[in-house]
Structure 1
Amino acid sequence: MLALQKTRPAAGLEFRTPDDPVPDAGEVLVRVHYAGICGTDLHIAAWTPGYESMERAMPVTLGHEFAGTIVKVGPGIPEDVRDFRVTARPSTTCGQCTACAAGDEDNCVARKGVGIGRNGAFAALVKVPYANCHRVPDGLDLSVAALTEPMTVCAEAVATAGVRAGQTVLVIGPGFIGQGIAIFARAKGARVVVLGHDDSPRLAALRAAGFTDLIDTQETRLEVALNAYPPFDAIIEAAGVPSLVNASLPFLKKRGIFTIVGIHPRPAEIDLTRLVRMHQQIRGSYRAPAATWDEVLRFLDEHQDLMRGLISHNFALADALEGMELARTRVASKVMLVIGDTP
């Protein structure tokens, strides 16, 4: 089985051929049909700070955005779930710590991420807890279903920011997470402005999706562009660029909410005195609860053409490194790896 793996704590990835995984108790084996390349995968490939915990799992197969078909079940899982089309939450819990024992699995202290702390979906087969699986609606294309994980991140960001109808929202970063945030904020009834830098391909994808308030700061200064709008009710940062936090805060209205989604390579400096006097809030947004997954699957099912348009490139697994380079250089919006036969 071909797998794209992180094998050492340094820049780079390797193709290897590990044995086929065998599902443990409570787990299922999923044949992967589609797997998306994520910004997290790029950080891992470049070995930027924040992923040191992966060393204990190496060699580990990457990939946490996927959809496929259950082909084998572990002890305790009924055989009749075979052939279910599923996607799966990549965050797995230990079931043994104090938090898990109390039913508070969201605060598990031994959580492991599929594709980070345990083998992921950049391979033909991946094993996951059946409790993490979500059925894909019958009419939903599995390539679109593979977008579920990142779109739950987007839905959580919009919820964390408290976006509602009639607001004006600034989304910083037109990568796939920024695109998904823009789509969900628009669905809430907000006016959405998206800001990027030297991002013409990804801004073009948003334009094709019906967005018109698009800014590329390669062509205009940030201050000039944002002064054309009233103060924003909410700003959602999905670029992972520390300098943009303080640069954009002056454009947030009094009592506005600034939500951070991007993963930053270093700390950001902010004017705390101004933040206090403007009575503003800074919130972090990360993982969505399980209920959001089913909501997002329904949204994807109802908006397949829209979402399919954001998949800019498809590659075979063997060509994944080429796809990762397109994602790294911001040519691609979303690179999808086509791994298994499509049912």
Structure 2
Amino acid sequence: MLAVQKSQPEHGLTLAEVPRPAPGPGEVLIEVEACGICGSDVHVYEWTSGYEWMTPLMPLTVGHEFAGTVVEAAPDVAFPEIGQRVTVWPSISCGACPACREGQPENCERKVTLGLTRHGAFATHVAAPAASCFALPDSVDSELASLTEPLCVSARAVETGEVRLGHSVVVLGAGMIGLGIALMARRAGAAKVIVVGKDDSVRLACARRLGFAATVDLAEEELAAAVTRLAGGKVDRVFEATGVAASVTDGLSVLRRGGILVAAGIHSRPVSVDLTALVRGKHQLRGSHGALRSTWATVLKLLAESGEEFRPLISHRVGLADTIEGFRLSLTKEASKVVVRPQQS
């Protein structure tokens, strides 16, 4: 089968013909119908610092935001059944570490991740643990279902930030996670959500299509001035979803006393924080990564009830052979979200 792989510890990905996988014990084989290009995938494509641990695993098929149909199952699998449409939680916990024993598999110390530490879903088929599969509601098609994982990441970030009714929120980063955070913050009751990008006209336009009138392009306006203009002062919550180190300190500068900044971006460089200012401002700096099993159930219910609200996030759809072009679109900010359709010719 055709697959998109990281084959060398350098910039780029390759298209390769590889054997179709077979499901192992407790696993199913899924025919992939839609797989989104994630910000983490783009980091792997660029080969930014922080992904060196992938080197001994190469060549590795990437892709972890996906949905499809079960076409084969190991003999010990009762659910999902063959023919079941599913999406998959890509983080596979070990079941034995202290976090797993305490019922916190999302904090597993030895987790394996589809598309990052074992073969993923930029391919026609992928093998995955049956226990990681979630059945799709009939009203949720595959491309909407491929948004489940990033929307879960966004929803968990908003939970971590404790967004409340009436809060003012700044979201730094207009990519998929940032836009997802904006959507989830609005659903949590935020009265004002400001979406911020830099040289990001396409994705900020997507934010406006999603109903966020307050957008800022830092190529045109300084952050503090824009937040004062749009919010009348500093804000209750800031979410950092850029992966740019300076955005953390910039975000803290527009956070009201006692406010919370949630960092959800993956950073290739260390961040310097003025701890004296943080202490005097009674700020809290929190990290959010991944989600909970309960988050997956909540997001799937949300997609079943209001899926069309989220479809404008998807700007481009490409076939598997054109996945590299999809990465280019993502890297150059010409796309808000690219979904790869492996069965599309």
TM class by smaller structure: over 0.9
* Alpha-carbon separation, structure 2, partners of 1:102 and 1:251: 38
2:270 matched to 1:240? no
For residue 223 of structure 1, report the CA deviation from its aligned partner: 2.5
1:1-343 mapped onto 2 (5 Å cutoff): 1-78=1-78, 81-97=81-97, 99-100=99-100, 103-190=103-190, 191-228=192-229, 229=231, 230-340=233-343
Structure 1, unmatched stretches of 5+, are none
Tell whether the 8 Å contact from 1:24 to 1:75 is kept in structure 2 after alignment: no
Q: Secondary structure at the match of 1:241?
A: coil
Q: Secondary structure at the match of 2:8?
A: coil
Percent of aligned pairs with the same amino acid: 45
Going from structure 1 to structure 2, the CA distance change for 1:41 and 1:213 (only over 3 Å counts) comes to: same
Tell whether the 8 Å contact from 2:163 to 2:185 is kept in structure 1 after alignment: yes
* Alpha-carbon separation, structure 2, partners of 1:105 and 1:145: 22
Going from structure 1 to structure 2, the CA distance change for 1:152 and 1:104 (only over 3 Å counts) comes to: closer
* Alpha-carbon separation, structure 2, partners of 1:92 and 1:75: 20
* Alpha-carbon separation, structure 1, partners of 2:157 and 2:207: 18
* Alpha-carbon separation, structure 2, partners of 1:162 and 1:100: 25
AA at the equivalent of 2:152: T
For residue 306 of structure 1, report the CA deviation from its aligned partner: 1.9
RMSD in angstroms over aligned alpha carbons?
1.6
Tell whether the 8 Å contact from 2:35 to 2:64 is kept in structure 1 after alignment: yes
Q: Deviations over 1:174-218 (max 9, x none)?
A: 111111100010111212011111111101011111111111111
* Alpha-carbon separation, structure 2, partners of 1:43 and 1:80: 32
* Alpha-carbon separation, structure 2, partners of 1:152 and 1:262: 14
Tell whether the 8 Å contact from 2:257 to 2:281 is kept in structure 1 after alignment: yes
AA at the equivalent of 1:288: A
For residue 109 of structure 1, report the CA deviation from its aligned partner: 2.7
Q: Deviations over 1:39-73 (max 9, x none)?
A: 11110011111112212321110000000001111
For residue 137 of structure 1, report the CA deviation from its aligned partner: 0.3
Calculate the TM-score normalised by the size of structure 1. Answer: 0.96
Q: Secondary structure at the match of 2:313?
A: coil
Structure 2, unmatched stretches of 5+, are none
Q: Secondary structure at the match of 1:309?
A: helix
Going from structure 1 to structure 2, the CA distance change for 1:106 and 1:182 (only over 3 Å counts) comes to: closer
Q: Deviations over 1:228-275 (max 9, x none)?
A: 222111000001111121122121111100000011110111211010
AA at the equivalent of 1:57: L
* Alpha-carbon separation, structure 2, partners of 1:275 and 1:8: 41
* Alpha-carbon separation, structure 2, partners of 1:93 and 1:166: 37
Q: Secondary structure at the match of 1:319?
A: helix
* Alpha-carbon separation, structure 2, partners of 1:292 and 1:110: 21
Q: Secondary structure at the match of 1:94?
A: coil
* Alpha-carbon separation, structure 2, partners of 1:341 and 1:11: 26
Deviates more, 1:327-336 or 1:216-225: 216-225
Tell whether the 8 Å contact from 2:320 to 2:343 is kept in structure 1 after alignment: no
* Alpha-carbon separation, structure 2, partners of 1:117 and 1:17: 19
* Alpha-carbon separation, structure 2, partners of 1:137 and 1:303: 12
Tell whether the 8 Å contact from 2:224 to 2:253 is kept in structure 1 after alignment: no
* Alpha-carbon separation, structure 1, partners of 2:268 and 2:99: 30
Aligned length: 342
Tell whether the 8 Å contact from 1:311 to 1:336 is kept in structure 2 after alignment: yes
Going from structure 1 to structure 2, the CA distance change for 1:79 and 1:269 (only over 3 Å counts) comes to: closer
Q: Secondary structure at the match of 2:185?
A: helix
For residue 107 of structure 1, report the CA deviation from its aligned partner: 3.7
AA at the equivalent of 1:308: R
* Alpha-carbon separation, structure 2, partners of 1:47 and 1:199: 22
Tell whether the 8 Å contact from 1:27 to 1:75 is kept in structure 2 after alignment: no
Q: Deviations over 1:292-329 (max 9, x none)?
A: 10110111122222211110000001001111100001
AA at the equivalent of 1:178: G
